């Protein structure tokens, strides 16, 4: 008998690039609205390009498609579409990354991108029941001085960001280059995260912890190559934001069956399940939960633990975290396995 799939738990999504939620249909709609000629014949032609060999092959398409985002309304529409879908996926709190520097580099003022996203985030709890936080991610394949300038501009304009992150092409662009950026962010009272160990070596994870003093690591899957680091991550309860479908689509792991998520659970690592760039990688957070449940036969208690870890690793207020942990416990207790 095929095991019945469990529903996905209520959770926090804490590794999500809002620009990675641009679905092909919305790309075409925004291009038409803005009079942009896309280099794709039609939706099918665009979808056919969603085959990646590594992180860079994805980033090339991701940055190119961003070109359709021109006005505050475009950023708002993208954000609203994600929240609407996330609400059906069980997301109760989201900490969303955006790449304001990437938009600035193509001539879109920070005010346009940030205001467009924030106008929708402000109403998210009321409209979708999802509490939110915005993370400004900086591009590690651009000069560190440029990132610092953009951060200063974001601070000067009072952008309502809760944290900074570090993303884009990882290999050859180590965290150690961004010490001053992270020092400044902490001084400004911001929390900190960084992509490390997605494709890069475990030493990048160590640098992010020791030099950038990050609160959590995005991806971090290459930590398994360094047993002493795994021990440290467990001991210090450092959260790792895991994105299973992303790792497979970007060929960071060979197949879902070979994804290290079960080993990470066995080690006692603090891990959450996230979608990263759902429009590009074949699914939202519920699709990621469903996939790991299907492939690894996770129990309801294990799914609940992943959801609890996502909430505990979030930057939501203590009150909100307690409320959401209660929801996960109720979900865990409601299932047939709990009886
Ligand atoms: N930017 C958007 N998605 C990313 C990812 N998975 N890794 C690094 N940078 C990104
Ligand atoms: Zn990411």
State which of 142, 167, 173, 241 you would mutate to test the pocket of ligand 1, scoring each by most atoms of that ligand within 8 A of its C-beta: 167
Does a structural domain hold residue 28? yes
Q: Is residue 284 part of a domain?
A: yes
Q: How far apart (Å, rounded) are the C-alpha atoms in residues 299 and 321?
A: 23
Is residue 302 in contact with ligand 1, taking CB distance under 6 Å?
no
- The active-site residue, picked from 198, 199, 207, 308, is 198
Q: Is residue 179 part of a domain?
A: yes
User: What is the residue-averaged pLDDT of the chain?
Assistant: 96
pLDDT in tens, 118-142: 999 999 999 999 999 999 999 999 9
- 8 A C-beta contact, residue 311 and residue 271: no
Residue numbers of the domain that contains 148: 11-331
Burial-class residue 106 by CB neighbours within 10 Å (0-12, 13-18, 19+): exposed
Instruction: From the CA of 137, give the closest atom in ligand 1.
Output: 1
Cα(218) to centroid(ligand 1), Å: 9
Helix locations, the chain, DSSP H: 24-33, 43-48, 55-65, 72-88, 100-105, 110-121, 124-128, 144-156, 179-187, 202-210, 227-235, 244-249, 261-267, 278-281, 285-296, 300-312, 318-334
Euclidean distance between CA atoms 37 and 39, whole angstroms: 7
What pLDDT score was predicted for residue 337? 59
Quote the pLDDT of residue 4. Answer: 53
- CB-side exposure of 276: number of CA atoms within 13 Å? 27
- What's the distance, CA 306 to chain centroid? 15
Instruction: Give the CATH number of the domain where residue 218 resides.
Output: 3.20.20.140
pLDDT digits (tens, 9 = 90+) for 243-296: 999 999 999 999 999 999 999 999 999 999 999 999 999 999 999 999 999 999
218 close to ligand 1 (CB < 6 Angstrom): no
State how far the alpha carbon of 226 is from the alpha carbons of 175, 215, 320, in Å: 18, 20, 35
Dist. CA 219 → ligand 2 center (Å): 7
Q: What is the mean pLDDT of residues 234-245?
A: 98
Q: For residues 148-163, give the mean pLDDT.
A: 98
Across 317-323, average pLDDT: 98
Residue 338: pLDDT over 60: no
Q: What pLDDT score does 307 carry?
A: 98
For residue range 168-209, list pLDDT tens digits in order.
999 999 999 999 999 999 999 999 999 999 999 999 999 999
195 lines ligand 1 (CB under 6 A): yes
**Do 275 and 12 meet the contact criterion of CB atoms below 8 Å apart?**
no
Average pLDDT of span 68-79? 98
Which DSSP letter does residue 21 get? G
Domain presence at residue 114? yes
Q: Is 19 a catalytic residue?
A: no
Confidence of residue 335 (pLDDT cuts 50, 70, 90): confident
| pLDDT of res. 73 | 98
Q: Is residue 94 part of a domain?
A: yes
Residue 245 lies inside a defined structural domain of this protein: yes
Q: For ligand 1, atom 6, name the residue with the nearest CA.
A: 276
201: how many CB neighbours lie within 10 A of its CB? 17
Ligand 1 centre to CA of 168 (Å) is 5
> Ligand 1: does its nearest atom lie under 6 Å from the Cβ of 20?
yes
Residue 15, annotated as binding a ligand = yes
Ligand number, closest to the Cα atom of 166: 1
Cα(17) to centroid(ligand 2), Å: 6
Bridge-based pairing of strands 239-242 and 131-139 is: unpaired
- Atom 1 in ligand 1: which residue has the minimum CA distance? 168
Does residue 246 belong to any structural domain of this protein? yes
Burial environment of residue 168 by CB neighbours within 10 A (0 to 12, 13 to 18, 19 or more): buried
What pLDDT sits at residue 5?
58
The whole-model pTM stands at 0.97
Beta carbon of 199 within 6 Å of any ligand 1 atom = no
Q: How many domains, in total, are found in the chain?
A: 1
Order of strands across the sheet with 131-139? 11-17, 91-98, 131-139, 163-167, 191-196, 216-219, 239-242, 270-273
Asked if the structure places residue 3 within a domain, the reply is no
- Structure confidence at residue 2 as a pLDDT band (50, 70, 90): very low
CA distances from 294 to 64, 236, 273, 336 (A): 34, 30, 14, 17
Indicate if the pLDDT at residue 112 is higher than 70: yes
Report how far apart, in Å, the C-alpha atoms of 249 and of each of 45, 52, 269, 335 are.
18, 6, 23, 31
Ion ligand 2: residues, CB < 5 A? 276
């Amino acid at each position: 008998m095929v095991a019945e799939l469990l529903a996905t738990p209520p959770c926090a999504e804490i590794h999500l690039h809002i620009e990675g939620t641009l679905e092909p249909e919305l790309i075409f709609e925004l291009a038409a609205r803005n009079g942009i000629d896309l280099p794709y014949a039609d939706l099918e032609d665009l979808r056919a390009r969603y085959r990646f060999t590594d992180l860079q092959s994805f980033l090339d398409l991701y940055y190119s498609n961003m070109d359709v985002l021109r006005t505050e309304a475009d950023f708002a529409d993208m954000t609203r579409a994600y929240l609407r879908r996330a609400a059906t996926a069980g997301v109760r709190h989201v900490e969303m990354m955006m790449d304001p520097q990437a938009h600035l580099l193509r001539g879109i003022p920070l005010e346009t991108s940030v205001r467009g996203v924030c106008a929708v985030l402000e109403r998210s709890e009321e409209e979708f029941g999802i509490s939110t936080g915005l993370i400004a991610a900086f591009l590690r394949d651009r000069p560190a001085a440029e990132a610092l300038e953009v951060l200063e501009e974001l601070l000067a304009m009072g952008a309502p960001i809760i944290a900074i992150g570090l993303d884009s092409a990882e290999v050859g662009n180590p965290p150690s280059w961004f010490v001053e950026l992270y020092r400044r962010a902490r001084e400004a009272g911001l929390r900190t995260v960084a992509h490390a160990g997605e494709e890069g070596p475990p030493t990048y994870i160590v640098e992010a912890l020791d030099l950038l003093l990050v609160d959590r690591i995005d991806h971090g899957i290459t930590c398994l190559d360094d047993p002493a680091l795994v021990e440290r991550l467990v001991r210090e309860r450092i959260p790792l934001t895991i994105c299973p479908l992303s790792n497979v689509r970007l060929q960071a792991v060979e197949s879902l069956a070979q994804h290290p998520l079960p080993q990470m659970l066995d080690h006692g690592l603090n891990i959450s399940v996230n979608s990263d760039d759902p429009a590009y990688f074949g699914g939202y957070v519920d699709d990621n939960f469903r996939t790991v449940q299907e492939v690894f036969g996770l129990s309801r208690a294990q799914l609940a633990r992943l959801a609890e870890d996502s909430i505990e690793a979030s930057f939501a207020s203590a009150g909100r975290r307690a409320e959401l942990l209660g929801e996960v416990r109720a979900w865990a207790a409601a299932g047939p396995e709990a009886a």
